[in-house]
């Protein structure tokens, strides 16, 4: 079986697939249309986020048996059409869930202790202690939306902080020793820290808007290591200004391209709402790297290799 790799990944992927008898070919520079012309020559495709896999591409992939995506989700693939054509789809949320959990925790603790502002002040010769008095996570209620691989990993990290962890998920009966499953209404009544751990779907796109934010009984902190388009940035900014949202840790932004590799198509036209986030000392921003660690790169590759080996 011939596999085409269109994104660079951990070298173990090429090495192990070759050892298992697969033939690897690499193309990291051709355009999508160029690859589309030759995709019928391949049984498998390995991709990260370089381009979207749409119906036209899948129609050209007449011999394709599987697609492996080095990431947690499959949103850059027309999954419905791929399944109709009998193409196996592999993603690897197991590979970077620990990294995402640690990143979310790091953002939360940094926000609670004003580390962004305090660091800049000290670097500028300003020594303020009372103004930077922090909060403790102990005794707080952390509410999660989504309790799959990422949500469970974050909840596990929170276990030692003596805080209450609750979550809302469409799937029923999935609570464990790390978090209690509750209704959306109960989550909105109790939550002091809200963390998103959902894929991007029609149900989760723009879910965090002004109405949703207003439905929370208490002011809260927001952590988003999931998908940027789940949060309406302008509505978040208004909530930050009013104090309804006390601070935000955003690893993802709604302005990202589908490839996740660039933030803006035109870097000279920053949206006004994003400019506010840049200037806010109670907002932490990172470039979609929550699952982007040295260890997760290897884990993601190994997960995809194992799934391919199991099926083929």
Residues assigned a catalytic role: 227, 256, 288
Closest CA to 8 of 311, 300, 306: 300
Distance CA 204, CA 208 (A): 8
C-alpha gyration radius of the chain: 21
Contact 288, 297 (CB under 8 A): no
Long-range interactions of 259-264: CB distance < 8 A, separation 24+: 259/49, 259/50, 259/51, 259/76, 260/49, 260/288, 261/49, 263/287
Q: Are strands 193-196 and 141-145 parallel, antiparallel or unpaired?
A: parallel
Backbone dihedral angles phi then psi of residue 92, each to the nearest 5 degrees: -140, 55
Two tokens at 308? 């391919």
Two tokens at 20? 């298992």
Distance CA 52, CA 75 (A): 8
Q: Which residues contact 260 (CB under 8 A, 6 or more apart)?
A: 49, 288
Backbone dihedral angles phi then psi of residue 136, each to the nearest 5 degrees: -105, 145
């Amino acid at each position: 079986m011939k596999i085409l790799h269109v994104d660079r990944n951990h070298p173990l992927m090429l090495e192990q697939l070759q050892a298992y008898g697969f033939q690897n070919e690499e193309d990291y520079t051709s355009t999508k249309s160029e690859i589309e012309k030759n995709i019928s020559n391949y049984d498998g495709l390995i991709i990260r986020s370089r381009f979207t896999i749409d119906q036209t591409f899948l129609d050209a992939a007449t011999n394709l048996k599987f697609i492996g995506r080095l990431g947690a989700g499959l949103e850059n693939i027309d999954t419905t059409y791929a399944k109709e054509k009998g193409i196996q789809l592999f993603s690897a949320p197991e590979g970077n869930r620990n990294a995402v959990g640690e990143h979310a925790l790091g953002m939360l603790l940094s926000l609670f202790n004003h580390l962004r502002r305090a660091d800049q002040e000290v670097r500028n010769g300003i020594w303020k202690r009372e103004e930077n008095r922090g909060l403790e996570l102990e005794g707080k209620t952390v509410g999660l939306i989504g309790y799959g691989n990422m949500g469970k990993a974050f909840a596990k990290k929170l276990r030692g902080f003596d805080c209450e962890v609750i979550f809302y998920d469409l799937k029923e009966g999935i609570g464990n020793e790390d978090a209690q499953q509750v209704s959306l209404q109960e989550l909105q009544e109790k939550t002091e820290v809200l963390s998103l751990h959902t894929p991007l779907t029609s149900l989760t796109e723009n879910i965090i808007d002004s109405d949703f934010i207003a439905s929370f009984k208490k002011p809260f902190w927001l952590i988003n290591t999931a998908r940027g388009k789940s949060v309406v940035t302008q509505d978040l900014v208004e909530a930050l200004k009013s104090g309804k949202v006390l601070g935000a840790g955003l690893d993802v932004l709604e302005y990202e391209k589908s490839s996740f590799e660039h933030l803006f198509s035109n870097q000279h036209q920053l949206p006004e709402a994003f400019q506010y986030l840049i200037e806010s000392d109670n907002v932490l921003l990172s470039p979609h790297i929550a699952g982007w660690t040295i260890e997760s790169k290897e884990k993601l590759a190994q997960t995809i290799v194992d799934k391919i080996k199991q099926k083929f």
